[in-house]
Chain A
Amino acid sequence: MTPNDIDRQLKLIDASRKIATIYTHYGQILAAQKELSSLGRTLQAPSFSRRAL
């Protein structure tokens, strides 16, 4: 994994955290949970670092 990939991962984490927080504020706990699990799947996917931007 390159430094660029790590940078992208950090940006993704930040974005997902923000999305989940906004959903939580509006009482959508399930949607927030889904957002975080989808983030987990994305970060663990072997294809992530190779994915074309």
Chain B
Amino acid sequence: MTQVTPEKAARIVVEGILKEGGKFIRSGERVYALVGGKRILVSPSFENTAYAAIQIKYSGVATAEVKGRAICQHVAVLGSHQAAELWLARFSALSNDKTRLYLPVEGGDLLEITANGLTRVPNGANPSSIWLEHPQERPFDFRADCDVSEALKKFEELCVQTQACTVSGHRWLVAMHEGLMPYVRDHAAARMLFEHSGPSQHGKTSGAQRFTKLHGLGEVLGDVSTAYLRNNCDGIGLMVLDNKEQASYGQDLINFLLFTATGARHGRSNQDGSAREMGDRPIGVLTSIEGLYKQELQKRTVCIPYGALSEKHRDRDYIEEQIDLHRDLILSGICHVLRQFLAMDPEKVQERLKELPKSPWPEFQGYVRVLARLLYAYAIERKSSLAWADQIIGGWFQTLGPASVGRDEDVIETHVFQALELYEAIRTKQENGGDLSPANRTLFNAIEPIEDYEIGGKHGTLHVTSASRLLGAMQLNNIGLRDLPKNASGMGRRLDSGGWRELCVLKESDDKQLLGRTSGQRKIGIFRPEETSTEEHEVHSLGLIPSAKSPPVGELSIPMTG
């Protein structure tokens, strides 16, 4: 074999690939061989062992040899002559006319979803000429015979009901945005970012990670640079950035997030001057204690308050294990919802939305329509009435509009809330024989708790302190250092300004006995109400979830198929 010319050897390699049932495709300047469901770049790079293995198999010459590089170049030229132009995509792809949706499935094939049904088609050889891959090489195993009701029940049990949203109807918004929207993301050009917001250890990250696990994407993204996001989030479907606090937002990250929300071409140059563009935008989710501060980002972000983490959903590892275990079943069921989604007439969805309260996001009408259409499709597959979905969507519009406004003012409340959480932990530590650090002790001494305090019909704990002691203790413990006022009078004014969502600041006039001035110290009380929201309480008081019994199948849905 080593006696033949590079050109002849290359022909032998190409014939071998074709005989194996492989073929060549071209994407931009690059030529790939498609062999055994894998896309292999035809390149002599030393790290490209997949191609090297093929060349060695058919020609006996490694790509590291001089002759081997020549053979590789001939293979690339020969391959490009017969290569088909395929559209390379990852995670999921939608045909240009938006009637066919493709998902990669176990075994190297694609699942083609249309309004009429679900069909397995070979990767690359489909009417839309799409070559699709799962970004982490973890496609799900599609179960054609799955029980859709059972699959959706599992989805709700593991991914929806476990969301620690303070308003239960928001769980469905999160589920549609993070669970289903990534598959049909190309249906909306202007996309909203979602922010899971709330104190630490209240289920923000674990809530988002349930969906990254479900999609086979692994864990949420922690400490990653914007350059990493630009290079690696092209085609991941869902991008969750964890712990993005105000200090994290450089102009580069803000620009990147705006790109994921609004689109437009996004390009950078390689060192050699060639262009490198992101062809796809993932659905974006951020988790944060402090919230966003840039107005241009705020306008494109829906802030979902988290904090009602129930005891039975605290075991994050168990829930994630269960999601891994039932992933194939759940995603197989979701495929039926996506089929229903494609079958729906968007005009009819729009008509229904007109009957609901006004959407607080007028510039994202298209996106809201897709989210609503997903929930309507879901309602039909779970055999609930469309009125069930109407109620939930109406709840989003009523509860989320005002909450996203005026976030700048809430930052200090969040930091004070964190200081109180830290205080409670320090108190527990002290009561159980733990040693306190000097910073811990300062915070411990700065606050005097009054349990079972009642104000305005609410029960809770009043934390008696003073602006200067609280500020000093927070500074010493590095809580919200960037946002805190620089002196006690500034802190006092911030506390006096009031209007907080959860905490309530009391002055001497509110309780002369407890907050009366002593030795020149002006006391303040920070009232923290008891956590009241149990699941049942929320469900009935907000009316966002229907009664346990779903309506009988006969009463279902007005058909919305187009």
> What residues of chain A have their CB less than 8 Å away from a CB belonging to chain B?
8-9, 11-12, 14-16, 18-19, 21-23, 25-28, 31, 34-35, 38-39, 42, 48, 51, 53
A12 touches B479 (CB 8 A): no
Within B516-560, which residues are at the interface with A (CB < 8 Å)? none
A residues in contact with B562, CB < 8 Å: none
A15 touches B429 (CB 8 A): yes
A23 touches B432 (CB 8 A): no
Interface digits, B456-474 against A, CB 8 Å rule (1 contact, 0 not)? 0000000000000000000
- Cross-chain pairs A/B with CB under 8 angstroms, 25 sampled: A8-B433, A9-B432, A11-B432, A12-B434, A15-B425, A15-B434, A18-B421, A18-B422, A18-B424, A19-B425, A21-B200, A21-B201, A22-B422, A23-B478, A25-B200, A25-B243, A25-B289, A26-B480, A26-B481, A27-B247, A31-B439, A31-B478, A38-B434, A38-B437, A42-B435
* Cα distance, A8 to B431, chains bound together (Å): 9
- State the total of A-B contacts with C-beta under 8 angstroms: 71
Interface digits, B412-453 against A, CB 8 Å rule (1 contact, 0 not)? 000000100110111011011111010110000000000000
B residues in contact with A48, CB < 8 Å: 433
A15 touches B433 (CB 8 A): no
B residues in contact with A21, CB < 8 Å: 200-201
With known contacts A22-B418, A42-B435, A11–B479 Cβ distance under 8 A: no
A53 touches B422 (CB 8 A): no
B residues in contact with A35, CB < 8 Å: 437
Closest residue of chain A to B415, judged by CB? A26
B440 touches A15 (CB 8 A): no
Cβ-based interface call for B321 (8 A)? no
Cβ-based interface call for B245 (8 A)? yes
- With both chains docked as a complex, state the minimum distance between the C-beta of A13 and any C-beta of chain B, in angstroms: 10
Most chain A Cβ neighbours within 10 Å, of B247, B434, B480: B434
* Cα distance, A51 to B433, chains bound together (Å): 7
**Given A11-B432, A14-B428, A15-B434, list of 13 further CB < 8 A pairs?**
A15-B425, A19-B422, A19-B425, A19-B426, A19-B429, A22-B418, A22-B421, A25-B200, A26-B478, A27-B247, A31-B478, A38-B437, A39-B434
Chain B: interface size category:
20 to 34
- With both chains docked as a complex, state the minimum distance between the C-beta of A40 and any C-beta of chain B, in angstroms: 12
* Cα distance, A38 to B534, chains bound together (Å): 35
With known contacts A19-B422, A25-B243, A12–B432 Cβ distance under 8 A: yes
Closest residue of chain A to B248, judged by CB? A27
Closest residue of chain B to A26, judged by CB? B478
B418 touches A16 (CB 8 A): no
A residues in contact with B424, CB < 8 Å: 18
- Nearest 10 interchain pairs by C-beta: A18-B425, A15-B428, A15-B429, A15-B425, A8-B432, A51-B433, A11-B432, A19-B425, A25-B200, A12-B432
A residues in contact with B428, CB < 8 Å: 11-12, 14-15
B residues in contact with A18, CB < 8 Å: 201, 421-422, 424-425
A residues in contact with B439, CB < 8 Å: 31
* Cα distance, A19 to B423, chains bound together (Å): 9
- With both chains docked as a complex, state the minimum distance between the C-beta of A50 and any C-beta of chain B, in angstroms: 10
* Cα distance, A8 to B433, chains bound together (Å): 8
A residues in contact with B479, CB < 8 Å: 22, 26
* Cα distance, A20 to B118, chains bound together (Å): 49
* Cα distance, A22 to B424, chains bound together (Å): 12
B residues in contact with A22, CB < 8 Å: 200, 418, 421-422, 425, 479
- With both chains docked as a complex, state the minimum distance between the C-beta of B419 and any C-beta of chain A, in angstroms: 9
